[in-house]
Amino acid sequence: MRRLSTLSAFVALSVTTIRVVNAAVYQSIDELPLMASAKEAYDFIIVGGGGAGATLAGRLSENPKFSVLLIEAGADNEGHEDLMMPSKNLEVQADTSYIWNWWTVPLSGVNNRSIEYKSGHVLGGGTSINGMVYTRGADNDYDLWGKVSKDSKTWSWKGLAPYIKKHEKWVQPPGERNISGQYDPRVHGYKGPVGVSLPWSVPIEFDARALKNAEIQDEFDFNPDPNSGKPIGVTWTQFTIGAGERTSSATSYLGPDVRKRPNLAILVNTYAKRVLPTPGPTLGFRKDIRTVELVRRNGEGPSTTVTANKEVILTAGAIGSAKLLLDSGIGDKTELEKVGVKSVANIRDVGKGLTDHFTASIMWTANGTDAVINATESLDLWRKERIGPYSEPTGPRHQILWSRIPDKSPVLKDYADPSAGPNSPHFEITLSGGGSSIFSFVVLLTPYSRGSVTINSTDPLAPPLIDLGFLTHPFDRAALIEGIRQTKRFYSGLAWDGYVKDFLGPDPDADPSPEGQELFWNAIKADMNSFFHPCGTAAISPKGSGVGKGEGVVDSELKVKTVTGLRVADAAVIPYVPTAHTQAAVYTLAERAADLIKEEWK
C-alpha cells in the first residue's frame, strides 16, 4: 500500500464528511460543490471523458472508498438521439457541437493541405461519434508495447488477455441475420459493458462475391474473425453496436446505475486549462502535480482549481493530453520557453512521436443493384424496434481485407519492415459495394512517418498545432502504391466477373511517365485523409529511462516521469499506432490502468 504524505493524510481525514452525497452530472463548473474544504473532496480527478476516461471513472468508482471526479469539456451524451443511432455516424462527426473543430497545420507531404482533425467533444469522446468499427489489432502490436516499456508481463497480448475481453459483451445483431461462421465465439468477451456485434443487414450479392473471391484467389484468404490476434485475411466487420444502438464508453461505463453512485461526480462543459504543482511536501525534487485549473468551456468567468487526494489522470486523447501537458509546462523546456511557457518538467518527448493511419480512396463502377432505402420508414422502424438500415453505420459496413506487403516485394527490400511482426497487417482495405459503384479505403496501418502536437501560445484555450507528417517518409509512398495494387488484384478475381466494371482510380499504373506519376500523386494527396487514430504523443517507456533525453513520457505504470501524482492513460501512451481501429486498444489499456491504480491504492 502506498503511504500518503502528511498533507494528503490530513486532507483525506478532513473531507470524509463533505464528499458528494449523490452522484450527479454537473452541467457547468458553477454547479460543482466547491466550498473551501470540498476543493479536495476527490481522490481521483480524471481529465477527459472519452474512451479511456469514462472507462476509468466507471471502474475506479466501483470501489466505494474512492471518490472520483470526471471532467469533460463537451456536453453529456444522454438525451441525444443522433448519438444513439448508428446510421448517424457521419452526421455527428460533422456536428461542431460534438467535435473539437481542430485543423492540422499545412502538411508538406500532401501539398500543404490542412485537414480537419475530428476528435470527440462530448461525453464518450471518440466512442460517441466514431464509425464504431471494432478491431483489436494483432498480437504482435501489443507485444511491441511490452518490448518498448520493458514490461511484457503487464503490456503484451498475453498479459492483457483478461482486459481484452473484460470490456466486451458480444451480442447477436438485431433482426434475423444468421451469423454462424461469420465470427469466432472463442475469442470474444460476453460479460463486459461494451456491446459488440455484426451489423443488422443480411449479406448481399457483394458480400457473397467477396467471400468467394477469398476462397478461390490464392493471395487472399477468408479469416473467420479479425479479433483473434491474427487479423490477416478477408473478415466480416464488427461494430460497437448493441441492440441496435451505438455503445460508447459513456453508455457502457457511465450508465444509469453508475451515475447513482455517491462517490462519482461527472462535470461536463468544463475545460481543463492546466495541471499545476500542488503546494505541500514533495518527493525529492519531483513536483507533485495533483491540481487542475478549470474554466467554463467557453472560457468565460474565473478559473477554479480542484485538487485530488491521490492522483490526476489525463485521458483527453492523444492530442488533448499532449496539449494539456505542454500548456502546463511539461514538455521540452527549450521549446516551451520559446513560446513563453514556464517549464515545470523537462520531458522532451511530450507531443512527439504522433502516429496515425492515413488513407487513399479508390473506386470502380459496378453492376450491383442495392435496394433504395425509404428514409421515413427506416427511421420509424429504428425508433420502434431498433432494427433496419438506421441500426448500422453509414459507410463501409461489409468486409475488410487485412493484408501485408508480400515478403518478396521490392518495398521490403528497400526499407525495413515497420510492422510489429508477421501477424500485423500493413493495410486495412475496406470492401464496400452493392450498387453502381465499389469504394475502397486503402489505409496504411504501419507508417514510418511521424508527426507532432505542439503549442504556440501561452493561452490554454488556443488550439493545438497538429502535424500528422503524412507521406514524409518514402516507405509510406511506396507502401501505399502496393496497397492500391493489392486492391486492384482483389477486384480482378474471377468471382467479380460481370460485377466489377471500370477502375476509376487514382491508378499508379495508368501512366508511368513522370508527368503521369505526378498526376497520380496529386490526386491521392488532394483526397488523402486521416482515420483519426492518433497515438504516441506521451509514449510509454521503461522506468527511469532517459528522462530529458527524448526517451518516453510515462513509465510502465503510466506515471508521468520526473513528477508525482500524475498519470496519462489513453492513446497518447501507445508507442505505435495499432494495426486496427483504436477504440478496442484504448478500452483494453484503460481497463488495465484501472487495475494498476486500484492495486496501488488498495
Catalytic sites, residue numbers: 533, 581
Give me the helices (H) in 452-576, please.
474-490, 514-527
Q: State how far the Cα of 124 lies from the Cα of 58, in Å rounded to an integer.
A: 12
By the 8 A CB rule, do 426 and 405 touch? yes
Name 285's Cβ contacts closer than 8 Å, sequence gap at least 6: none
Q: What is the 8-class DSSP label of residue 460?
A: T
Name 578's Cβ contacts closer than 8 Å, sequence gap at least 6: 136, 137, 138, 141, 142, 533, 535, 585
Long-range contacts of 596-601 (CB under 8 A, 24+ apart): 596/154, 596/557, 596/558, 597/44, 597/56, 597/60, 597/311, 597/313, 597/567, 598/59, 598/60, 598/63, 600/2, 600/557, 601/1, 601/2, 601/43, 601/66, 601/310
**Binding site: residue ranges?**
122, 130-133
By the 8 A CB rule, do 391 and 382 touch? yes
3-state SS record for 98-140: CECCEEECCEHHHCCECCEECCECECCHHHHCCCCECCCCCHH
Burial bucket for residue 500 (CB in 10 Å: 0-12, 13-18, 19+): buried
Nearest to 438 by CA among 373, 499, 372, 355: 499
Q: State how far the Cα of 498 lies from the Cα of 344, in Å rounded to an integer.
A: 65
Give me the helices (H) in 436-566, please.
474-490, 514-527
- How many Cα atoms sit within 13 Å of 18 on the Cβ side? 15
**Binding site for FAD: residue ranges?**
122, 130-133
Name 241's Cβ contacts closer than 8 Å, sequence gap at least 6: 86, 132, 173, 195, 196, 197, 199, 247, 391, 392, 393
Alpha-carbon Rg for the chain, nearest whole angstrom, is 24
CA 342 distance to own-chain centroid: 30
Q: β-pairing, 68-71 with 42-47?
A: parallel
Q: What is the 8-class DSSP label of residue 307?
A: E
